[in-house]
Amino acid sequence: MEKNLSVLNTLTIMLIFNCGQSYVKEIIKYKTDYLCIMNLNPVVYSIPIYFLLIGIELLIQKFSNKRLYRLNDAITNISCGVTQQLTGTFLKIFGIGIYQFIYENYSFFKIESNIYTILLLFILVDFMYYWAHRMSHEINLFWGSHVVHHQSEEYNFSVALRQSSFQTIWTSFFYLPLALFGFNTLDFALLAALTTIYQFWIHTETITRLGWLEYVFNTPSHHRVHHGRDPKYIDKNHAGVFIIWDMVFGTYQREEEKPTYGITKPVNSWNPVWANFEHYQFMLIEMKTMKFTDQVKYIFSKPGWLPDSMGGIRKVQPVNKNAFQKYDTSSMRSVNFYVLFQYALAMVATALFLFNKSQFTLNESAFVTGMIIITIVNCGALFEGKNWVMMAESIRIILFSGISLYFSFVNSWDMLLLIGGIAYLVISSMWLYFAGLPKQSVHA
């Protein structure tokens, strides 16, 4: 068994460090005009590799008899990533648009692209990422978006996909000095994406410490610490690629005992949309009784800060590992299979949209985004056994089938759309009916 795990671990690392070459070759074909840059997203091109690596980790789970995944948690993690990629279609003005504007109109220089400047830019992008990431932990307003990534109480490759829809609004400004210095937008977009792609492989418990690499690069061991909610691990190891930044700026922590993953105030939900708003709703509730000056401090202070009149700073409490229970729900097997069926269709729709989104108008993109998000929200609600989900899911099935039939009609009764719409209506309705109202138990 150990030999099998070693082979799988080696295969995982080899895939991570070698699979990007074909994507890079495709990306560099882009011309440096604004529209091409706005549509550039190597993270999307890497989606097949992400799911391949998740599959490898599931094999490791099978061979090792260790439970690395829970269905409800993994689907919610991926759903947060789907939501982030879909809404990112409308928020690229922050990630790329403003950078391009500054570069074109206010840059001090225009730096030529060559191997040396690309290497320098990669290091600088990672340096800026460190500070953007660190401030996302140390400023309450920024934490409200970044917290999404830390909500899972598991630690596997699906957690890497659990991203906030709004984080780019705050973090994009940290990279603008690079535009002022004259690094072109295409190079920046590519290297920022590669910094993100690098971090996928460090979200795993299946890879142990990696010798001398631990002193230079961010590794699974370092990043497990970052996801720990134990007091000694909180706000440590903010690095993207190079762990050196944490060692230099005093935020490094070596992995010692196994971390307890998650956040100190669990979200306790499988709803990917609520996951993006929960902390901001909590902030608004706490701010209601504060005076204005305290509200400003609350927004820009570290998470956990409160004025003295409300008890002062909340200290992080040690985790009782013997008593700690992860948030979980138990749903019937029939419901789980139904969710997997609907979710698989939603993932196919998401992939088709993301790989072809340049062909969609803004209104069409908004429509497709809404339909997919409704589907994955209902999937989470089915796991939770919400009272309203049977009605919501029935309406969604009828709506989606009706849309298919409508497009069949306007396309001279296209048989594929006609048969697909009817088949979807019949199969989904019957399956949902016989699956029954979700019955589930919760512990948190």
Tell me the pLDDT tens digit for each residue of 182-198. 999 999 999 999 999 99
Lowest mean pLDDT among 3-7, 114-118, 423-427, 436-440: 3-7
For residue 19, name the pLDDT band (cuts at 50, 70, 90): very low
Question: Read out DSSP for 201-269?
Answer: TTS-SSS---GGGGGTB--HHHHHHHTB-STTTTT----SSBTHHHHHHT------SPPPBS-SS----
pLDDT > 90? residue 218: yes
Global pTM value: 0.87
Q: For residue 332, give the nearest of 296, 385, 397, 402 by alpha carbon.
A: 385
> What are the tens digits of pLDDT across the range 70-94?
999 999 999 999 999 999 878 877 7
Instruction: Identify the pLDDT of residue 361.
Output: 86
What the block records as the tokens of 345 is 């269709």
For residue 321, name the pLDDT band (cuts at 50, 70, 90): confident
* Helix count and strand count (H, E) for the chain: 21, 2
Amino acid at 159: V
Instruction: Identify the pLDDT of residue 355.
Output: 84
Q: What stretch of H or E contains 441? A: strand 441-443
Q: Higher-confidence residue: 414 or 61?
A: 61
How far lies 327's CA from each of 249, 269, 379, 416, in Å? 34, 8, 17, 42
pLDDT > 60? residue 369: yes
Average pLDDT over residues 148-173: 94
pLDDT > 50? residue 379: yes
Task: Measure the CA–CA gap between 199 and 239, rounded to whole angstroms.
Answer: 9
Instruction: Identify the pLDDT of residue 41.
Output: 65
Q: What stretch of H or E contains 442? A: strand 441-443
Secondary-structure breakdown of the chain: helix, strand, coil percentages, each rounded to the nearest 5: 65, 0, 30
> What are the tens digits of pLDDT across the range 21-54?
444 444 444 444 444 544 556 677 777 888 888 9
> What are the tens digits of pLDDT across the range 92-139?
777 788 999 999 999 999 999 999 999 999 999 999 999 999 999 999
Q: What stretch of H or E contains 438? A: none
**Percent of the chain having pLDDT more than 90?**
63
Lowest mean pLDDT among 30-44, 214-228, 229-243: 30-44
Instruction: Identify the pLDDT of residue 26.
Output: 42
pLDDT > 90? residue 199: yes
> What are the tens digits of pLDDT across the range 325-345?
999 998 888 899 999 999 999
Instruction: Identify the pLDDT of residue 391.
Output: 93
Instruction: Identify the pLDDT of residue 31.
Output: 41
Q: Higher-confidence residue: 420 or 175?
A: 175
